[in-house]
Amino acid sequence: MMDWTDRHCRYFHRLLSRGARLYTEMVSTGALLHGDVPRHLDFDAAEHPVALQLGGSEPVDLARCARMGEEWGYDEINLNCGCPSERVQRGAFGACLMAEPTLVADCVKAMVDAVSVPVTVKHRIGIDKSESYGFVRDFVGTVAESGCGTFIVHARNAWLKGLSPKENREVPPLRHEVVHRLKREFPHLVIATNGGVTTDEQVAAELAQVDGVMVGREAYHHPWWLARWDQLYLGLPDPGITRESVEEAMVAYMDRQATAHGTPWASIARHMMGLYNGLPGARRWRQVWSDHRLKALPPREVMALAHQRA
């Protein structure tokens, strides 16, 4: 979800679900230790509960960054051991770390010792074409001994060579049964599944087997799906929101961001393009909000024009 789940995207998703846990895009330790920290770590208080996802493989650096995340106010620190991109592999982190469970355990231990918030791990069920259950079982077992109690498992292998990140989300077969088996073997751990879940029926089926479900691209492209989650899965009352009220709230947010930070509305609006997906006029509505010729207009005028066209 690099370049997708930035702070503006997360603010939008929080308007749709008050209880779902939100995750940042992966932030490398190098970016935090040597880059613009506020740009990577700033978030709106409304985003809670929100987790910071880190990418790295040096225990000392990860501990420092985890401490920064806790000081910034994040509710969880998550270590990414699932991204298969070659750029990430060149940094010696992401999915390639699954081949070094002892190193991952050292990284987790360093972070656990540095912070009081939970430290979690997101990973795949395997790397390359080996489908050995023992591989992921031993990975989880080793890392759990270092103090990690929550594992978010993308139910596909990561092929480290020969596939693009997009192909890595499509070509390796989904095997949610492996995640279910992990939960049976490690009942004391929190095990969540990820990958290919696109309907309420699938979520319900997975929650009968594991502790949680992470949804990425489907939630991004069809965000209105989130509006049912609080009632269906978290026992919260119906907030009574509408697509229009969410759009109105985003326009108010755009105004605040422009005043406080000079943020152009287009960099925020790009995340809500799926809000009306499936409804008549949605394509024309998207065309207006994505028309950069209108960027000089106030967002409220753009919203009015979008509804007029739609």
Contact in structure between 214 and 176 (CB atoms under 8 Å): no
| Token pair of 150 as six digits | 């929550």
Instruction: Please tell me whether residue 184 adopts helix, strand or coil conformation.
Output: helix
Residues whose CB is less than 8 angstroms from the CB of residue 262 and which lie 6 or more positions away in sequence, other chains included: none
Is 65 known to be catalytic? no
Instruction: Say how far apart CA 6 and CA 28 lie, in whole Å.
Output: 14
Residues whose CB is less than 8 angstroms from the CB of residue 170 and which lie 6 or more positions away in sequence, other chains included: none
For 161-193, b/e burial (b = at least 16 CB within 10 A) is eebeeeebbeebebbbebbbbbbeebeebbbbb
Residue 102, Cα to own-chain centre: how many angstroms? 25
Contact in structure between 254 and 295 (CB atoms under 8 Å): no
| Token pair of 23 as six digits | 């995750």
Catalytic residue (choose from 9, 81, 83, 96) = 83
Instruction: Say how far apart CA 296 and CA 292 lie, in whole Å.
Output: 8
Catalytic machinery residues: 83
